[in-house]
Amino acid sequence: MGPAVDGLRQVFEESLGGGDICFVLNLAEVPMIDSTGIGLLVRFLASTKKRSGNIKLVQPSKFAVQTLRLVGVLNLFEIFENDDAAVESFA
């Protein structure tokens, strides 16, 4: 919850509205993800997958991975070590 989630929601909505369906989300600077953030991620993941797109995660923190696993959504996402690998995975 808060400005970070609000900002991400706005970016997703504008990008999806503009026709983008493939996203790389670098989480290297995100120490934790709360339930609001998780809800946002899975909702937009569903939206992109409906359009044959995806959201790839890059460098989530150990605690972020733990949190995603706790609520059972970790396996919904592909995770990469760097942005380039994530981008190439869309090719």
Partner 1 sequence: MPRDSTAGHPENELSELLNIGFPANPDAIGTVADAIDQALIELHVPEQKRLEIGLAVQEALVNAVVHGCDSDSSKEVRCRLQSDRNGRIVITVTDPGPGFSTDLLSDPKRQEDLYADHGRGVYLIRQLMDEVSFVRPGNEIKMWKY
Binding stretches for partner 1 (CB under 8 A): 1-2, 31-32, 34-36, 38-40, 42-43, 45-46, 63, 67, 70-73, 76
Q: Write down the least CB distance from residue 89 to partner 1, Å.
A: 21
Q: Write down the least CB distance from residue 6 to partner 1, Å.
A: 10
**Distance from C-alpha of 29 to C-alpha of 58, rounded to nearest angstrom:** 10
Q: Write down the least CB distance from residue 85 to partner 1, Å.
A: 25
Q: Nearer Cβ to partner 1, position 42 or 85?
A: 42
Helix H or strand E encompassing 54 = strand 54-58
**Distance from C-alpha of 5 to C-alpha of 38, rounded to nearest angstrom:** 10
Q: Nearer Cβ to partner 1, position 36 or 83?
A: 36
SS3 33: coil
Q: How many CB atoms lie within 10 A of CB 9?
A: 15
